Amino acid sequence: METLSQASARYVRGGATKVRLVANTIRGCAVSDALGRLELSKRRAARDLLKVVRSAVANAENLDPGIDIDRLVVAEVYVDQGPSLPMRIRPQPMGRAHPIIKRTSHITVKLAGKKG
């Protein structure tokens, strides 16, 4: 399968491991099936993945206006860890303090055409 389009979102709030749980459910699925799964998912990361998949579909339409969306497949989805943002301090025993870390991730989705 040849990659037709791709989209990415960087610095998305949410840990990479939590986003990967949702990404694993749509890898290899047809685009219509993947969009349905993401819309019905209760996980917060599904909202961010839904935006990236829709963006990849729009990129495919811009590259080839006559493309059949039903023949697109989510070929690759990968989630990388982004920078961690230390936001505030959490008091600890004996006068110590630890940072409250807000994790981010980078999401990349690649679409390909279905053979046959």
Q: Give the structural domain span for 108.
A: 3-113
- pLDDT band at residue 87 under the 50/70/90 scheme: confident
**In the predicted model, is pLDDT for residue 7 greater than 80?**
yes
Is 14 strand, coil or helix?
coil
- Alpha carbon separation from 11 to 2, 83, 104 (Å, rounded): 27, 8, 5
Rounded-to-integer distance, Cα 1 and Cα 26, Å: 17
pTM: 0.90
Q: What is the pLDDT of residue 116?
A: 60
CATH classification at residue 85: 3.90.470.10
Q: What is the pLDDT of residue 46?
A: 97
How many domains are contained in the chain? 1
Amino acid in position 99: P
